[in-house]
Amino acid sequence: METAVNSIDPELHPEQLLDMVQTGLLLCQDNGRLFFANHWARELLDRAGVELTEKICQSLFAKDDVDCTTCLAAGTAGGTHQRRQALTINGKNGGMHLKIYCRSWQGYQLLTIQDVTEEISLLRRSEIHKKELLAKNVLLEHSRRRNAAEQDFMAQLMDYLPDALLVVDETYRVERKNSEADKMFTSASSQCFTLVGRTAPCPDCPARHGFARAAGQKKSHEIDGRIVTEIFSAGPNRRGGLLLFRDNTRQVQLISQIREHREEIASKNQLLSLLVDFGTYLQQENDGQEVALYFLHSILPVLHQGAAAILVHNTRPGVLWISQQRGIEATDFERIRRSCLTREFSQEQSALLPSPVLPWSTGTQLPLAGSTGRRIGLVILEGDLDEKEKDMLKLVLEPLGAYFQNQILLRQLEDEANTDGLTGLFNRSYLNKALEEEQAKFNDHGTPYSLVLADVNQLKKLNDEHGHEAGDRLIVAVAQELKTSLRPTDIVARTGGDEFVLLMANCPEVDAGHFVQRLKIQVFRNRQLELDTGEKFPITLSLGWAGIDACGGEENSAILLKEADKRMYADKQQFYQEQRRYR
């Protein structure tokens, strides 16, 4: 660049030496007249669009031939005191931010010029990014607390999310988009794939099998030279989906302290987002088995990478409703399931399984509980988790436990519908369901069960002589005694007018025989029903029993019923023979 500025006197400082200094240097006389500019200063001022001709220094920056009211040279004459000033000027490629230092040197005013445009832009972008992360954190926290109000959540998401958001239906048609999406996509296309420059849906689109299966997955696109990440989520009520487009081309490396803050905020956002997504999923999914699988394969991997299992009790103790695993060998998982069926664990005498049951040298067991605090299941994880990891997992297990508790309550309501109106005992329908569960436990784990059939003696005589009200009182009294004689894992059902069936879980035939003897000798021995007339009617039962372990390999509950029924009728015949003998 041509210049009329004089070269510095070689005796004071060689011009070649000043040109080698890799920063902009200007020498001005005391009257502000520009005397010398080195190579870096000329190049910098050229980018700034400043014509370097012989003029006073003020006009280079202030476009003014008069002294600046904030002249840096003021007060520096005769000393080494240095002053500085920041300027913003319009250059050839937009605004430039300069930092100018001034001091006296050898009878001149020495101006040092630095271009800090990149640093200013970096700090501004960093501040914007930090504010975006903080805003997202606030939004997700607010959304988690108002999870049930899905429409409010969507409205706030659309209003405050700093990224482009599209709401699409099952055919990829755009139903709604936010203002950031209008800025990102200049096209007015009505389908999401045309917005990213395609004429048909992406062949590897995660949502090609439905948005529910694509939830949480991501896909990258290049749009007008920008790298955009597309994040998939299932839409409200499982209709369509939400597509979040995030422009990653402007990401920058922040200083160490900012990076640490960002990672901390990102970690919290991830956890909050996980809770929000999981809460939304729990509201929409009614199948407990699907929820357990979703927890194991979609939620848990974010928090724990090792093998894991989830087990949930049924409404009846001693029966597992849900048992799912990830990364556990079949034989090892069978041992875990069998341990959960033990009497001590099913009756909550032991909160956790014995350590030798687990297939790893170290493992973690987290009880799954509902809002009442009662354990309804167990989550088993490979490895020894620290308290921080446990606390993070508990944030997910809390809504999961509440979900399963609600599902169990619904199942209990269904069970209550299968009860006898007179006695409150279960009916034949519920008994058949429980028999199927016990038969499955025997087939899968070899856990035996037994049946006891009870028939009330002389009920017809009581009805004929004292009326059906007295007969009903007898039935209720027998039902109450049978119910209180059983363990929590057993059930008793009324299957006929005077007939009862007792299902005894985890009970071989020999133990069932001992139980029958206890009923005869301890429970019903000398028991009587006091009638309205003051008379006392003896309460006696004819009993028969059979165990699956002693049925000769016939793995069928119908065989047990026949065998127990045969023994019960033999007992009844003996009772009436004795009645005739002593009549």
Q: How far is CA 562 from the centre of its chain?
A: 50
Distance CA(527)–CA(519), nearest Å, equals 11
pLDDT tens, 87-98?
A: 777 666 677 788
As a whole number of Å, the end-to-end CA separation of the chain is 137
pLDDT of residue 61 exceeding 80, the answer is no
* Fold for the domain defined by 121-266: Beta-Lactamase (3.30.450)
Distance CA(336)–CA(69), nearest Å, equals 84
CATH superfamily of 15-115: PAS domain (3.30.450.20)
Which residues face 27 on adjacent strands?
36, 110
Q: What is the pTM of this model?
A: 0.44
Q: Any idea which of 56-70, 294-308, 350-364, 521-535 has the lowest mean pLDDT?
A: 56-70
Q: How would you classify the pairing of strands 363-369 and 375-382?
A: antiparallel
DSSP state of 537: E
Environment class of residue 263 by beta-carbon count within 10 Å: exposed (0-12), middle (13-18) or buried (19+)? exposed
The pLDDT confidence band at residue 501, using thresholds 50, 70 and 90, is very high
The pLDDT confidence band at residue 452, using thresholds 50, 70 and 90, is very high
Average pLDDT over residues 206-221: 84
- In the chain, what are the domain boundaries? 15-115, 121-266, 285-416, 428-581
Domains 121-266 and 285-416 share a fold: yes
pLDDT tens, 115-149?
A: 888 888 888 888 888 888 888 888 887 766 766 55
State in words which class domain 285-416 has.
Answer: alpha beta
512 HSE (CA, 13 A, CB side):
28
Instruction: Work out the widest C-alpha separation in the chain, in whole angstroms.
Output: 147
Provide the H-helix boundaries in 215-362. 256-284, 288-294, 300-303, 330-340, 343-346
Q: Tell me, what's the pLDDT at 500?
A: 94
pLDDT of residue 252 exceeding 50, the answer is no
Residues 154-174: b if buried by 16+ CB within 10 A, e if exposed:
beebbeebbbbbbbbeeebeb
Distance CA(393)–CA(306), nearest Å, equals 13
Distance CA(554)–CA(532), nearest Å, equals 48
Task: Enter the CATH code of domain 428-581.
Answer: 3.30.70.270
pLDDT tens, 365-413?
A: 998 888 788 888 899 999 998 888 888 888 888 999 888 888 888 887 8
Environment class of residue 292 by beta-carbon count within 10 Å: exposed (0-12), middle (13-18) or buried (19+)? buried
- The dihedrals phi and psi of 215, each to the nearest 5 degrees, come to -55, 130
Question: In angstroms, what is the C-alpha Rg of the chain?
Answer: 42
pLDDT of residue 2 exceeding 60, the answer is no
Average pLDDT over residues 211-223: 83
